Structure formats: structure tokens, C-alpha cells
Amino acid sequence: MMRLAAFLMGALLAAAQSRPPVLVELFTSEGCSSCPPADQLLIRLPRAFSGIEVIPLSEHVDYWNHLGWTDRFSSPLFSARQQDYGRLFHLENVYTPEMVVNGEVEFNGSDWMRARDAILKAAGEPRATLAISMGDVAHLQVSDVPQGVRQVDLFLAVTETNLETVPRGGENSGRTLRHAGVVRSLTSVGHFDARKTASYSADARIAINPKWPRENVRLVWFAQDRATRKIIGAATARP
């Protein structure tokens, strides 16, 4: 049993290292008329880079909800996360659609050229290794943290894809909106000081709403430098 577990962990490590992961966060809203093109771009990005694992996170903010349509995917948690990035990037105001690549650069979420350049750059940077083993409890292991990183926050996002909405109000009333990588939940699963330990592990119980088709659900773990907000590693799994 121990040999099998070691083999599975090694296989997961190899898979994680074969294609560099790049986390692409899109702050969007179904109440924003400028957002559908960015939503479509986020859908296309994972298929646009054969040697890179582009991991989409569609984070629906809630500050558009008072303008005629309440986005069922929205959460104040995502608005707060965007505000945190706004302070990091010294923005006078946050906006939608905003795309953030690996926590390092932000730009209009409909800008394909900026997205391409940012993803290619991020794929070549040093990163930690994240390995996942799935069971009754998901087990995450982090190692090889890049030099200079001190405090590391670990997060687990549960995402759902192939989602569609036709708003009955607001700026997108009557339009068919399609989404991928919609973050259904975002949870902090650990924190460690990379100066004191070379590796770190954490366990998480996964709660999946039975109404969500399992084939559309993805688990996304990522490690983020607390000081710079840079994403230093990511990994995905199916529940």
C-alpha cells in the first residue's frame, strides 16, 4: 500500500511538472455589458496553449447586482479579492472585466494580446511543485518553493464549467451568457513559512453540490506569495 501511494504521488508530481500551470483570474459580472467578450476569451484560453496548462478562475463580483440583475455566481468574497489586487496594482478603482495572470499583472479581460504575452511570460518563471492525491480527503503537498518567497498562503477553489445564463434584467438582459471555470467556492487551506520548512502538506474535505454535474467540476489548488500576491504554484484535479 505504501509503495502504491508513493507511486501515485510520483505520477502526480510528474504530471504537474510536464506542463507549467498558469492561473488566470477573471473578475466579471453577468450585469456588466463589457464582460461577455472577456468570458468568451477565458473559455478559449485553456485550448490556446498546447504546452501550458492555463487554469481559468471566473470570479463573479457582487457590486453590479443592484443594477437590475443579481448574478447567481457572485460573492462579496470575490469583490474583496479584487479590491486586494486593486491595492497591489495601485488602481484608483477596480473594474470589470479585469484579468489577473498569476497574480502578477492585470489588464482588461478582453485583451487577447495582453493575455497571451502574460501567460507566456508566467509559464517560464520559477514555481513551486504542488502534488495532489485524491481519496475521502484530498491531500496536497507543496515543495520546491522559489527562492525569496517567505510566507505562503494555500487556497482551494472548486470550479464549474459549461454554465449558461440568460439574464432577465440589467445590461445583458436577453443575451445568452456562457461561462467556464466559475468559482463556486474559494477556501484557505493552509499557510506556511517557506524559510522554516522545505515542504508543506495539507488535507481538505471536498464538498460538491450534487446539482453540479461532476464532469464539469474541477478542483484547483494554488499557492500565493503573501507579500507580492504572486501565484507561485498551482495544480488541478477532478473530484
- Identify whether the C-beta of residue 152 lies closer than 8 Å to the C-beta of residue 142: yes
Query: Which of the four pLDDT bands, split at 50, 70 and 90, describes residue 134?
Result: confident
**CA-only gyration radius of the chain, Å:** 18
pLDDT of residue 155 exceeding 90, the answer is yes
**pLDDT reported for residue 7:** 40
pLDDT of residue 229 exceeding 80, the answer is yes
pLDDT in tens, 56-84: 999 999 999 999 999 999 999 999 999 99
Residues with Cβ < 8 Å from 66, sequence gap 6 or more?
A: none
DSSP string, 124-146: TS---EEEEE-SSSEEEEEE-PP
Of the candidates 190, 206, 193, the one whose C-alpha atom is nearest the C-alpha of residue 141 is 190
Q: What CATH number does the domain located at 2-237 have?
A: 3.40.30.10
Of the candidates 88, 87, 60, the one whose C-alpha atom is nearest the C-alpha of residue 76 is 60
Instruction: Report how far residue 210's alpha carbon sits from residue 219's, in angstroms, rounded to the nearest whole number.
Output: 15
**pLDDT reported for residue 14:** 42
pLDDT > 90 fraction of the chain, expressed in percent and rounded: 87
Distance of CA 224 to the CA centre of its chain: 11
Query: Which of the four pLDDT bands, split at 50, 70 and 90, describes residue 17?
Result: low
